[in-house]
A and B are shown apart, each in its own frame.
Chain A
Amino acid sequence: MAGNSILKHREAVLAALVVVLALGTSLINPNFLTLENITDLLKANTVSGIFSLGVLMVIVSGGFDVSFTAIAQVTQYAIVLLMLERTEGNIYLAILAAVFFGIVLGLINGAIIHYYNMPAIIVTIATQSLYYGIMYVVTRGRQINDIPSFFWSFSNAKVVEFTSPAGGTYGLSLITALWFILAVILYVFLRHSKLGRSIYAVGGSRISAERIGFNLAHTTLFVYAAMGALAGLAGVVHVSIVQSVIPSSIVGSELQVIAAVVLGGASVTGGKGTVLGAFLGVLLLAILSNSLTLLRISSYYSNVFTGLIILISVTANAIQVQRQRRQRVRVQIDKA
């Protein structure tokens, strides 16, 4: 909202960082700032990007979720199996089924967290293992390489297409566009819908929200269900990019996504965070790891940098909050 100067400030800093990092990298490797690299980069981060939208909602509502990668993984496996069963499957059906499945798993999280009043981190650590473990047991960890071709078409489709001098094509992928569209929808939703505002309100003060007549159960269930839906969708996007179902390929990236959202200014105590911030957070981490590759720095370092960035950004944020709190006027001092 208009008064949110800290977040605005933060977004500006993040955007500046993104620009500086991008320019710096392109000085050393001119390939970086080519349209081809940028669109590839965006495509490669679409899965994280879609995750980040759900994570943002959960964190703004004052919740937490580490199970979304497991939801994506399980959903992905289930949907591909389902599509292999059917002969006349298509991508719409796959997405629809994935979203539905994701919602169910997300609702389970939300219901346990809300009705049993348990810390979200404990609940989602548990459901992560539960979902993932059951999938592994049922599938025996078998990899699926024989993916229906419509998945490939889905990830390969471009909204805008160019031909490179070498003859290949590149451009803005449909899935990336999907991520952007979802981001815009979420932006409008969080800003202008009643439910969206209630997510901020509940994150800001649960007690106040309850007293003013918000239904906390609705908000909590919605947020985790939406996280599940986005995770399901991300699972489909992921398989369409990777072209195979590897049961261990998504789980493990959840903290990276949470880091990006937190980097974008979302407060884990709830009530604060923006879509733009989360977007910039994902972008910053993406560019960072991409520039490490382009600068021929071993990919081993990527976690080191990610960890450092998380620590620096949360510390900077905390210092700012502390300073602000200290400057808050407690007593209007009389003039002598």
Chain B
Amino acid sequence: MSIQMALAGASAKPTGKRPHFLESWEAERSMAIALSLAGELVVTRQRLDTLERLLAAKGIVSRDEIEGFTPTKAEAAERGLWNQEFLARVLRVVQQEAEALTATDDSSETIAEELAR
């Protein structure tokens, strides 16, 4: 099923040993997570902006309805799935670190030398 494939595989590690740039991997891992979060924050901000503009244009800005919203069971499932997707995306670096434990990648330098032979 595609949605399960996407949840499991969207954050997959590409082949090839991942280069490190910062002095500690801990810092690099944190940056990866923070950057993904920054992206998701922007996405959310744009969606809110879209909504606010549409609501304003139609004269339907009802904050009370938003504050008092309670999801149905199906709505809760849909929103839960979104949370799963969110975590798979934002925790990409954790998944790739796990996949790297069993990968047998060559470095770009090694492959370049091989391809130049």
- Physical interaction between A and B: no
Instruction: Show the binding face of B for A, using Cβ within 8 Å.
Output: none
Residues of A participating in the B interface, judged by any CB pair closer than 8 Å: none
